[in-house]
Amino acid sequence: MTDPEKKFACFVDIVRELRSENGCPWDRKQSPVSLKRYLLEETRELMEAIDTGDHQHIKEELGDLLYIIFLLAQIHSEENFFAIGDVIDAISAKMVRRHPHVFADEKIESTAELRQKWLEIKGREKAGGGQPKKN
């Protein structure tokens, strides 16, 4: 296991422990609905940090946002909907599908063409009822 993988696994365990029976009362009472406000708050704070160019602050705010994302995934995992690994699988597959100029033999000549291709792929995915369609 690489260092980032160990850190990732450790963080997953921390979030799981915070939600456990002996965990933190605040974390245990959170729900997807209650976390919406924090998701917006942390996103705003990250945007402000980006605007100031303070890299240390950006790192901290990225961590705060990442925590909310992991917490949301943990809550959904507890209800047997999906786990953080499923979230990662889904975004990984989406990035590969939407970047055929990187992961397949497709040639893209301009950023305008790149944007158009992205929108076409996204449109096909949405037309499939939210399920990605194979290229």
pLDDT per position as a tens digit, 71-110:
999 999 999 999 999 999 999 999 999 999 999 999 999 9
Q: Say yes or no to pLDDT of 131 above 70.
A: no
Output the pLDDT for position 46.
98
Q: Say yes or no to pLDDT of 134 above 70.
A: no
Give 3-83's CATH code, choosing from 2.40.160.20, 1.10.287.1080, 3.30.420.10, 1.10.540.10: 1.10.287.1080
Output the pLDDT for position 135.
41
The domain segmentation of the chain, as residue ranges, is 3-83, 98-135
pTM of the predicted model as reported, rounded to 2 decimal places: 0.85
| HSE value, Cβ hemisphere, 13 Å, CA-based, for 117 | 17
